[in-house]
């Protein structure tokens, strides 16, 4: 199990930024009021994939397919959408790199 330690205000701000991106994306189409809570468990997973833009994209596909159970066809349009989302997530995480800590709990 992966756990994020949000020990500082800056960590909570990063979590909120990532959650806002995921809420706006809303891949399973839940109502807006639910979306803000729906994807919070995806944040630690995406942080684990944040070492590069390429791994972030793999992380987004992992969340879609393995965590949310969505099989997304790899069309040009879908690849573009995932690429844009991955870049947005990667940029937010990269600008805060070093300001958060990830700990594995077994």
The answer to whether residue 37 scores a pLDDT higher than 70 is yes
> Which residues sit opposite 5 in a β-bridge?
101
Cβ-proximal residues to 70 (8 Å cutoff; 6+ apart), any chain: 27, 28, 64
Mean pLDDT, the chain, integer: 86
pLDDT in tens, 47-97: 999 999 999 999 999 999 999 999 989 899 999 999 999 999 999 999 887
Residue 101: what pLDDT?
52
What's the pTM?
A: 0.81
Enter the DSSP assignment of 100.
S
- Looking at the chain, the whole-number percentage of residues with pLDDT higher than 70 is 83
Q: Which residue has the tokens 């839940």?
A: 30
């Amino acid at each position: 199990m992966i756990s994020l330690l949000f020990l500082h205000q800056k960590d909570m701000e990063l979590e909120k930024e990532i959650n806002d991106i995921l809420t706006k994306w809303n891949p399973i189409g839940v109502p807006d009021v639910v979306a803000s809570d729906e994807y919070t468990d995806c944040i630690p997973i995406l942080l684990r994939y944040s070492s590069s833009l390429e791994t972030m994209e793999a992380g987004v596909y992992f969340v879609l397919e393995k965590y949310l159970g969505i099989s997304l066809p790899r069309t040009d349009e879908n690849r573009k959408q995932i690429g844009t989302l991955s870049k947005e997530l990667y940029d937010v995480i990269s600008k805060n790199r070093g300001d958060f800590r990830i700990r594995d709990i077994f």
